[in-house]
Structure 1
Amino acid sequence: MPITSSSLPSKPTVIFLDVGTIPEQIKVPNLTFEHQWQQFDFTNEEQIIERIHAADIVITNKVKLSAEVLAYAPNLRLIAVAATGTNNIDLDYCRENNIAVSNVQGYATRSVPEHTIAMMFALKRNLVGYHQDIAAGVWQQQKQFCFFTHSISDVAGSTMGVIGSGSLGKAVAKLAEAIGMQVIFSERKGAKTCRAGYVAFEQVLAQADVLTLHCPLTETTTNLISQPELQAMKANAILINVGRGGLVNEHDLIEALKSQQISGAGCDVFTQEPADESNPLIANMDLPNLILTPHVAWGSDSSIQALYNILMDNIVKFQQGSRQNRVV
């Protein structure tokens, strides 16, 4: 049967499984209907079933809701994802069991592009390398007013290759063009023909001075960039991944940085989050041509506030019978 507001009780139980992903300074909009609210800063795998068992509505950012755990939530009628990506939700199970899924889109079209551009400038001007050299006393040893232990590249006049042409990819392209870059959008890997306005994947790899990833993580995009793709890039190129960790083979990326197959990389996302010392990026974070941030590209205060506003409005609209931002 179709999912409607009548599927919910008059006072539904709403549970936020990982509210700790929202900074304390963000103002929480109120749900405009009677409800019972529960929230948890963090929910580990062993706690999910107990916490969602009596829920009518579940809010999650990154907590994984598989078919195995969803089977223990007989009252569940809506999963409101506090993000754009829904790869942590078993969407097939939700379709088969009359559970609606909504997500939040378009909230970080300033924050993510600015983070991308910031990483690009830092890598092209080797800011990390120079910071490390000063800390190591190189400046004092040189006895000059400046020193040049790393190359410094201008960004204007270079080429940015963008993989992913959604709102974020387009917003990054707009900023890049504003600072004098040529932007090319990549066609899907393996495509036999190119759509109008796109360039073949292999050609983008060969031409890009900056390659930036803004596509979703799917079976076809997992390890989208690995050793063959890195080898096909320019030696002075940099790679920026603010999309999903699994888009890049992390072991191959580290080898490419160490062997100078590419010039640098900036990563805001990891295959497992939080990442620990077993992750090759973390284990090699002292490399001067590698910049790591903890999945915060989306996280300006204004973007998170917009996300939270849309998230809560999605729930209200569902209660009213609307299909706003519905994935399922």
Structure 2
Amino acid sequence: MSEHIVFLDDDGLAPSTTLKRPDCEHTWQQFSYTHPDQVLEHLKDATVALTCSVPLREEHLRQLPKLRMISLALTGRDIVDVEYCEAHGIEVSSVPGYAANTVAEHSLAMILELFRRPAAFTRLMRQVHAGEKPHQNIYFNHRIRDVRDKQLAIIGSGPIAMRLAHLARAFGMQVLFEDRGGKRPGPDCRPMAELLKTCDVLSINCPLTPETYNLIDSPQLALMKQDAVIVNTGRGGVINENALIEALQNGRLGGVALDVVEVEPLHPSNPLFQLIERDDFLLNPHIAWSSEDAMQQLMDSAVDNISDFVARQANAKRIRSA
């Protein structure tokens, strides 16, 4: 049986990504992007859907009787109504853990920028070159700190959190984890309030759930040291952004770096842009996951998931007919 595979949104790939084809008999169709009102038209003959970001909800799925498999070029499966798929024999696969190293590296890069300030000093040199700042012998415009011996508190316990811990320890940082309300014992785990009071860096590397929504709010920020920094490469809603803006503007934090925000894609009207001119504030458009290396691994794995599905289906058919 030949599969008809439809890739719904190849605009999610970097130009450097090589897209291989599944190891099975198939026809292939791909689109730059698929809007919600185009899902049914694009998938009407598909047996397999491949997507980076297009949601597939029950109202679509129940009108696609030929669809047998959805391959997500993602870690999670929240953009698909998985319960409906399970009830109707549609397999849903994802690529958990593919971004562990790249997001951890991005987190560390943000930590280093907030402590060492190389980009901030480059902006200063541009201003000196333009005559906007004085030329002088020594510059102390930005505070520079070593990360060695600083305490990194991580909220999260998945592959990204573990990789960040490994990298931070290589720089000589003391790494501790939030104990998830006493559910995670161990010598390197501490209650949230204790971590907030003692940490030099707070890194958010956990999913967004009802329990973690606004986990870091005004009372939690008030516990932190005045020169502590916060890095969030997890999910935006874990931090109350209005409280974060207020804390940084009032000098109650040493710096903030965000790769994620509560409402994405990041819009120019977002209140966080009040901070954009500050050298102690970094704002990225959710790109920590998207290194060339990680993206290639992601797409290779997403396509391999299709090949594995087809091979398992063929093997099961042989067994039934034997």
1:93 and 1:252 map into 2 onto residues whose CA distance is: 38
What whole-Å deviation, never above 9, does each CA across 1:7-58 have from its counterpart, x for those lacking one? xxx1222122221111122222221111221212222233223323332211
What whole-Å deviation, never above 9, does each CA across 1:91-114 have from its counterpart, x for those lacking one? 222222222211112323332221
The letter of the residue matching 1:196 is G
- How many Å apart are 1:85 and its aligned residue? 2.1
Q: Which residue of 2 aligns with 1:30?
A: 21
Look up the SS of the partner of 2:312 in the other structure: coil
- How many Å apart are 1:133 and its aligned residue? 3.7
1:283 and 1:98 map into 2 onto residues whose CA distance is: 48
TM-score by length of 1: 0.87
Q: Which of 35, 56, 77 is matched with 1:65 structurally?
A: 56
- Percent identity for Structure 1 against Structure 2: 36
Whether the aligned pair in 1 keeps the contact of 2:179 and 2:185 (CA below 8 Å) is yes
Q: Which residue of 2 aligns with 1:171?
A: 163
Point out 4+ residue stretches in structure 1 off by more than 3 angstroms. Answer: 126-143
Whether the aligned pair in 2 keeps the contact of 1:20 and 1:42 (CA below 8 Å) is yes
Matches within 5 A, 1:175-254: 175-188=167-180, 191-192=181-182, 194-197=184-187, 198-254=189-245
Q: Which residue of 2 aligns with 1:148?
A: 140
Greater relative CO (CA pairs within 8 A, separation 6+)? 1
Look up the SS of the partner of 1:252 in the other structure: helix
Matches within 5 A, 1:308-327: 308-321=299-312
Q: Which residue of 2 aligns with 1:293?
A: 284
Q: Which residue of 2 aligns with 1:160?
A: 152
Look up the SS of the partner of 1:321 in the other structure: helix
Q: Which residue of 2 aligns with 1:326?
A: none
Q: Which of 31, 44, 48 is matched with 1:40 structurally?
A: 31
Asked if 1:112 is matched to 2:103, the reply is: yes
The letter of the residue matching 1:146 is I
Asked if 1:259 is matched to 2:250, the reply is: yes
The letter of the residue matching 2:216 is I
- How many Å apart are 1:194 and its aligned residue? 4.4
* Alpha-carbon spacing, 1:244–1:54, altered in 2? closer, same or farther (3 Å): farther
1:300 and 1:128 map into 2 onto residues whose CA distance is: 20
Q: Which of 9, 12, 16 is matched with 2:7 structurally?
A: 16
1:186 and 1:269 map into 2 onto residues whose CA distance is: 20
Matches within 5 A, 1:43-54: 43-54=34-45
Aligned residues: 311
2:182 and 2:99 map into 1 onto residues whose CA distance is: 32
* Alpha-carbon spacing, 1:184–1:54, altered in 2? closer, same or farther (3 Å): same
The letter of the residue matching 2:10 is V
Q: Which residue of 2 aligns with 1:76?
A: 67
The structure whose Rg is larger is 2
Look up the SS of the partner of 2:246 in the other structure: helix
What whole-Å deviation, never above 9, does each CA across 1:216-247 have from its counterpart, x for those lacking one? 22222222222222222221111111122222
* CA RMSD in angstroms, aligned pairs only: 2.2
Q: 255-264 or 152-161: which moved more?
A: 255-264
The letter of the residue matching 1:166 is G
Whether the aligned pair in 1 keeps the contact of 2:127 and 2:133 (CA below 8 Å) is no
- How many Å apart are 1:143 and its aligned residue? 4.3
1:137 and 1:45 map into 2 onto residues whose CA distance is: 49
